[in-house]
Amino acid sequence: MTDDLPPQQPGRVRKAPESFLDRSGIQAVHREARSGRRDFIRSAFAAAAAGGAAVAAPAALAQANPVPADGGDPNILKLPEHSTGLGQPVVTDGYGMPSKYERNVQRRQSPGLTQTNQASVSFAPLQSLFGIVTPSGLHFERHHQGWWDIDPSKHRLMLNGSDDKMLRRPMVFTVDELMRLPSVSRFHFIECGANTGMEWGNVAVPTCQYTHGMISCSEFTGVPLKVLLDMAGADYKRGRFVLAEGADGSSMTRTIPMEQVENGEVFVAYGQNGEMLRPENGYPLRLVVPGVQGVSWVKYLRRIEVGDQPYGAKDEVLHYVDLMPGGLHRQYTSIQEVKSVVTTPSGGQVLLDRGYHQISGLAWSGRGKVRRVDVSVDGGRNWRQARLQGPVMDKCLTRFALDWVWDGKPALVQSRATDDTGHVQPTYRQLRAVRGSRSIYHNNAIQTWLVQENGEVKNVQLS
Amino acid sequence: MSSCREALIALVLAGSTLGAFAQAAKPAAPAEFPGIGRTATPKEVQAWDIDVRPDFKGLPKGAGTVARGQDVWESKCASCHGIFGESNEVFSPIVGGTTAKDIETGRVARLTDESFPGRTTLMKLSSLSTLWDYINRAMPWTNPKTLTPDEVYAVTAFILNLGGIVPDDFTLSDANIAQVQQRLPNRNGKTTDHGLWPGRTLGNGGKPDVLAAACMSNCATEAKVASLLPDHARNAHGNLAEQQRLVGAQLGADTTRPSGATRRMSTLAAVTAPGAGPAAAAAKAVALARQHNCLACHGLDNKVVGPGMSEIARRYAGRDDAVDYLAKKIVAGGSGVWGPIPMPEQSLPAADVNALAAWLAGGAKRP
C-alpha cells in the first residue's frame, strides 16, 4: 500500500449539482491527507486492529448514569412538575406535532449542492429514525421546478396512447373516481438515483443525512396502473412502454417498462402512511414504481401514455444518465441496486462512552428482498452477520442490528447487504473498477464510518 | 356507559352485515367498474399530450430562425442561462465542450477527458427531441409552457447555433429536424447495454455489472483511509450537534469546536428553533418575494443570479429615496449595477412593489 492518491482529475467533482466540495476543497482534502492526518488515523487504527476483534471490554467501564454523592438521582428524588401538576387537554393541536425536544430532527439541504431552491433536494435525517417507515414530514424532497399544493377536486389523470390504436379508448379520471377503485397498500422505499452521488469521487459530506438521506420508505396506498390500463383497453402486445407525466411546471416525464405494470407492481398512489400524500411528495397523485429510482415516481401525476418506444425524456438523456469510463452515457438506468448504511453510529455523532452499543442501520434492494446484512468494525477484514428486524419486505427498507462492545479504540464500521437474487453490495474499489468515478448516479458502495478514540464518528472512504 | 355499549353492539352488527355482503359480492372482474372514468375527448388529449419522442412523433409543425431564437433567448432565457448559454450561475451550462470533429463522429471527445470541467447539455444530448420537448414543457423557468411552437423551434435553433451545429442563417423546422439530429455532437454517445432496466425491452435483461462476494473473515481489506473531510470543512454543514436528536446512544458532534470537545448539553438550550419570532411585515414581504418568484434569482442573503436581498438592503441603507428608487428598479429591471446579467422588467401589482421596496429599504429583515 502506498500513500499515493488516485491521479487528480480537476473538474471531476463540480461544485453543483454534481458535488459539494469545489476544486480547492478537493485539493485540500488530499493535501491534508498527504500531510499525515491519514497516517495518524491509520496508525491508530492499525494498533486497534492488532489488538484482535474489538469485543474485549476494558476492566472498568464508566457507569453511564452514576449515583450522586447524596445517594440518589434528583430526577427521581424530586418529583417533577409533570408528576405533580395537571397536564394539557385533548386537541391542543388538531394535527399533533413531535415533542419540542425533537426539533433537531429535520430534513435539511446540503449547502452549495444546488443553486436554486426550486430545483433542489432536502435530505431525510436517517441518523435519527427508527424502524423502516419515514415520517411523512421528514420524507426527502426532490423538486425539479418547485412544489405545489394542488386542489384535488380539480386534478385529473388522463390515459392515452402514442397512436390511436394503443388504447381502446383514451380515458380521464377524477381523484374521487380513482379512490373508489379497489386499492392496494404496500411498503416500499423510494431512493433518488443520485443518492450518495456526491461521494463518487471522494468524501464530500459529513453525516448519513447527506450521504444517504435521499431515501425514504412509506406505506403507499393506491390503484394498480394495470387496473386502469385494462379499463382503457391497452394493447399490451404493442405497448411495451409507459410514459408517466406530472402536472407541475416541469411536467416531469419518465419511461416505465410495461413488464412492471403488467405484474401489478406499479400503482397510482394517493395515500402515504395512512393519510394522503404530502404536497411535497406529489399530492394528490404520484406513481409508485417499486425498486426504481425516485425520478420515475412521477409526482402530481396527470397523464399516462402507452407507447411502443421509450421517450428520451430530459431525465433519461441529459440527467439520470451514468457516465462510464469510456465516455458513453448509460441511458434508462433505473433499478436501485442492493445497498445499506449504518445509521447509528454514523458521521457527525459522538459515542459518549465505551461499552455496549447497538450498531443499527438500513438495507434495501431494488431487485427484491434483503437476504442478509453483514457488519464489520475493522474496515472489512472480518464480518459478522447482523440481525434483520422484521418485517422484511420486497423493495422495502429493512432494519438491521448488531451487538457491539466498544473498547474505546478506533474502529471502521461498515455494513454490506446481500439481496435475494444473491447480489452483494460492492466496495468503492469494486464499484469504481467497473463504473469509474465520474458518474453521479447509482452509487451503492459500502459506506465506512471511522469511530475515533474520542468517540467522534467521521465519514471516510478506504482505498 | 350504557349508551357506549349500545353503540358498540350496533357497530358489531353493522360489521357482520358488511362482512356477509363482502363474502357474497363477486370480486369485480378487471375493466368492470361501471360509472368510473370516462372517455377523454380529442380536445382534452390534444391539450395535454405534448410529449415528443426521439423519432419526433408528437412534434408539432412549425419553424424558427436562429435570429428569432436569439430575441427570445435574450428576453426569456439569458437571465438564468447567460447570454451564450454558458452560465453556471443558476443551472449547469447548456453550451460548450463540443467540437466540429464531434459533429462528424457523433461522440463528444471531452467526455473521456477527465481534466475537462463539467458536462454541458450539448455534450450529453443524444436526441434532439429531448431538447425541444423540455424547452416546450418546462421553460421559461418561471413561466413554463408559455412559448409558442415556433418560439421553441427558434430557441432550439439558437442553442444549436451557439454550439456550432447549425449556421447563423438557419431555420429549424419539423421538416429538417431529423437531418439536424444527424449533426448532434453526442448522438452516438449513449448505450442501453446494462442491467439496470427493470424489463426485457432495453438493456441486457437485468444482469448486474458490479459483482462482489460476501467474504466473512480475513478478507482482503482496503482498510486504509484515503479520503475524509478536511478540518476546515468541519462546520461547513452547520453545527452537526444541532442536527442530531438530543437523547440517545450518540450525540451530535459540536462542530463549532475542535474534535473531542463534545459534551452532553442541557437539552433545550441546544434545540434550534426554526422560524422563531416571525415579524409580520417581514413575513409578508418574503411571501410576496416568493409569490412573484423574486427568490428564483435573489436569495434572502446570498446572490443567486442577482444580489441577495440583504445585500441590496445594505447598499441602499441610509439613502433617503431608497423606497422610490427600489420600487422603480423592481419594475424596470436593469443591468450593470451588480453585474452583467440583466434583470428583466417585472409586472406585479404596485402595492406589492411598494411593500417589497419598503421591506428592502428597511433592511430586508428575515421573518
Annotate B9-44 with b (16+ C-beta within 10 A) or e (fewer).
eeeeeeeeeeeeeeeeeeeeeeeebeebbeebeeee
Cα distance between residue A232 and residue A230, in whole Å: 5
Backbone angles phi, psi at B331, to 5 degrees: -75, -45
Burial of B274 (0-12, 13-18, 19+ CB in 10 A): exposed
- The least confident of A4-8, A85-89, A319-323 is A4-8
- Residues from chain B that touch A426, judged by Cβ atoms under 8 A, are 210-212
Say how far apart CA B107 and CA B308 lie, in whole Å. Answer: 40
Indicate whether A421 pLDDT > 80.
yes
> Which residue is closest to A384 within chain B, CA to CA?
B216
Neighbours of B118 (CB within 10 A): 16
Amino acid, res. B179: Q
Residue corresponding to grid cell 379520471: A173
- What does the DSSP assignment read for A183-209? -EEEEEEEE-TTTTGGGSSS---SSHH
Question: Mutating which of A350, A352, A437, A439 best tests the B interface, going by the most B Cβ atoms within 10 A?
Answer: A350
B209: cell is 455489472
Identify all chain B residues contacting A394, using CB atoms and an 8 Å cutoff: none
The interface predicted TM-score of the complex, written ipTM, equals: 0.86
- Over residues A140-167, the mean pLDDT reads 96
Is the predicted pLDDT of residue A85 greater than 50, yes or no?
yes
Greatest Cα pair distance, chain B, in angstroms, is: 89
| Whole-angstrom distance, CA of residue A368 vs CA of residue A337 | 9
**Tens digits of residue pLDDT in A5-32:** 333 333 322 233 334 455 565 566 556 5
Q: Of A250, A367, A444, which is closest to B144 when you measure between CB atoms? A: A250
Query: Helix axis angle, B322-332 relative to B350-361, nearest 10°?
Result: 130
Read off the pLDDT of each residue in A336-362 and give the average, rounded to a whole number.
95
Nearest in space to A107 (alpha carbons), one of A352, A349, A281, A342: A281
Report the pLDDT value the prediction gives residue A34, as an integer from 0 to 100: 53
Q: Which residues of A touch B273 (CB under 8 A)?
A: 103
CB B74 within 8 A of CB B345: no
* Stronger pLDDT, B227 or A1, i.e. the higher one: B227
Q: What is the pLDDT of residues A107-130, one digit of tens each?
A: 999 887 777 888 889 999 999 999
Q: Which amino acid, residue B70?
A: Q
Residue-wise pLDDT tens digits, A266-304 = 999 999 999 999 999 999 999 999 999 999 999 999 999
Q: What is the pLDDT of residue B172?
A: 98
Nearest to A291 among B92, B119, B198 (CB): B198
Q: How many cross-chain Cβ pairs, A to B, lie less than 8 Å apart?
A: 421
* A344 residue type, one letter: T
Q: pLDDT, tens digit, for every residue of B152-171?
A: 999 999 999 999 999 999 99
pLDDT for position A28: 60
- From the list A37, A310, A344, which residue is nearest B249 (CB)? A344
Measured at the alpha carbon of residue A454, what is the angle toward residues A450 and A455, in degrees to the nearest 5?
55
Q: Are strands A156-161 and A301-307 parallel, antiparallel or unpaired?
A: parallel
The number of angstroms, rounded, from the C-alpha of B267 to the middle of its chain's C-alpha atoms is 37
Q: Which of A11, A41, A318 sits opposite B121 (nearest CB)?
A: A318
Q: Do A231 and A241 contact (CB within 8 A), yes or no?
A: no
Among the listed residues B276, B286, B269, B272, the one whose alpha carbon sits nearest the alpha carbon of residue B238: B272
From the list B36, B124, B203, the residue facing A180 with the nearest CB is B36
* Domains of chain B, CATH where assigned: 63-181 (1.10.760.10), 280-361 (1.10.760.10)
**Average pLDDT of chain B, as a whole number:** 84
Residues A138, A144, A149, A150: is their CA dihedral positive or negative? negative
Cell digits of residue B305: 443570479
CA B341/CA B304 separation, integer angstroms: 11
Write down the pLDDT at residue A17: 33
Among B112, B136, B228, B341, the strongest candidate for a mutation testing the A interface, having the largest count of A CBs within 10 A, is B228
Q: Sign (positive/negative) of CA torsion A130, A132, A138, A144?
A: positive
Query: Measured between CA atoms, how close is A339 to chain B, in angstroms?
Result: 12
Determine which helix (DSSP H) or strand (DSSP E) holds B173, and give its type and residue range.
Answer: strand B171-173
Residue of A nearest to B244 (CA): A104
Report which of A378, A346, A388, A342 is spatially closest to residue A361, judged by C-alpha positions: A342
Q: Using the beta-carbon criterion (under 8 Å), do B54 and A230 form an inter-chain contact? A: no
Query: Which sign does the torsion angle of CA B62, B65, B71, B75 carry?
Result: positive
- What does the block give as the cell for B162? 451557439
Distance separating the N- and C-terminal Cα atoms of chain A: 9
String of b and e for B280-298 (b: at least 16 CB within 10 Å)? eebebbbebbeebbbbbbb
Q: What is the pLDDT of residue B266?
A: 38
Which three cell numbers, joined as nine digits, stand for B140?
A: 421559461
Contact B229 A206 (CB under 8 A): yes
> Nearest CA of chain B to the CA of A295: how many Å?
14
Whose grid coordinates read 439558437?
A: B158
pLDDT (0 to 100) of residue A253: 97
* pLDDT mean over A70-88: 93
% of chain A exceeding 70 in pLDDT: 87
Cα(B134)–Cα(B136) distance, rounded to whole angstroms? 5
Grid cell in block for residue B292 = 412573484
Count of C-beta atoms within a 10 Å radius of residue B198: 26
Q: What is the pLDDT of residue B161?
A: 97
- List beta partners, residue A414: A376, A448
* Mean pLDDT taken over chain A: 89
Q: Which of B53, B217, B301 to mutate to test the interface with A (most CBs of A within 10 A)?
A: B53
User: Could you give all domains of chain A from N- to C-terminal order, each with its CATH number?
Assistant: 136-330 (3.90.420.10), 336-460 (2.60.40.650)
pLDDT at position B88: 79
Candidates B81, B237, B262: best to mutate against A (most CBs of A within 10 A) is B237
Cα gap B172→B152, rounded to integer Å: 10
Q: What is the mean pLDDT of residues A202-218?
A: 96
N-term to C-term CA, chain B: 51
Bond prior to A345 in cis (omega within 30° of 0)? yes
For residue B9, give how far its alpha carbon lies from the nearest alpha carbon of chain A (Å): 27
Res. A159: pLDDT tops 80: yes
A357 and B249: CB-CB below 8 Å? yes
Show pLDDT as tens, one digit a residue, over chain B (367 residues): 444 444 444 444 444 444 444 444 454 444 489 999 999 999 999 999 999 999 999 999 999 999 999 999 999 999 999 988 888 778 889 999 999 999 999 999 999 998 887 899 999 999 999 999 999 999 999 999 999 999 999 999 999 999 999 999 999 999 999 999 999 999 999 999 999 999 999 999 899 999 999 999 999 886 689 899 988 889 899 999 999 998 888 889 999 888 876 554 434 344 443 333 335 678 788 888 887 888 878 888 877 778 888 888 888 887 888 888 888 888 888 777 777 777 878 888 888 888 888 888 888 887 7
Retrieve residue A290's grid coordinates: 417499486
Whole-number pLDDT of residue A6: 38
pLDDT of residue A30: 56
% helix, strand, coil for chain B, step of 5: 40, 5, 55
Is-contact A185 A221, C-beta < 8 A? yes
**Cβ-based neighbour number of residue A82 at 10 Å:** 8
Beta carbons of A424 and B217 less than 8 Å apart:
no
Tell me whether residues A257 and B199 touch, CB distance under 8 A. yes
- For residue B12, what pLDDT is reported? 42
**Cα–Cα dist A20/A30, whole Å:** 15
Under 8 Å between Cβ of A218 and A140: no
Q: Where are the alpha helices (DSSP H) in A129-190?
A: 175-180
| Minimum CA–CA partner of B262 in chain A | A350
- Chain A CB contacts of B295 under 8 Å are 117
* DSSP E strand boundaries for B195-339: 225-228, 250-252
Check CB contact under 8 Å for B108 and A378: no
- The nearest CA of chain A is from the CA of B87 a distance in Å of 12
